[in-house]
Amino acid sequence: MEEDYLICYCNEVSKSTIVNAIKKKGLKTVEEVGHETGAGQVCGQCQPDIQKLLDEINLAGTS
Ligand code: FES
């Protein structure tokens, strides 16, 4: 299993939390991830990282 780490420092949301939310709920946007997990809702600095996770998961499944 991949190493877990914090993506969003403001709300202390880890990568695994975000990945699980994306997979379980089929999230497609940074905004949806924010609503589900709280990540990206404060300073916004982690939003590119959230987008990367979204791309990895959603693009991998659709090609
Ligand atoms: S690090 Fe995620 S909102 Fe600030």
Give me ligand 1 centre to Cα 50, in Å.
10
H/E/C letters for each residue in the chain? CCCCCEEECCCCEEHHHHHHHHHHHCCCCHHHHHHHHCCCCCCCCCHHHHHHHHHHHHHHHHC
pLDDT of residue 17: 98
Fold type of domain 6-62: Arc Repressor Mutant, subunit A (1.10.10)
The atom number, within ligand 1, closest to the CA of 9 reads 1
39 lines ligand 1 (CB under 6 A): yes
- Token pair in block for residue 53: 């996770």
Share of the chain above pLDDT 90, in %: 87
Q: What is the pTM of this model?
A: 0.89
CB 38 within 8 A of CB 13: yes
> In this predicted model, what pLDDT tens digit does every residue of 17-32 receive, in sequence order?
999 999 999 999 999 9
Give me ligand 1 centre to Cα 61, in Å.
27
Give me ligand 1 centre to Cα 1, in Å.
25
Domain segments of the chain as ranges: 6-62
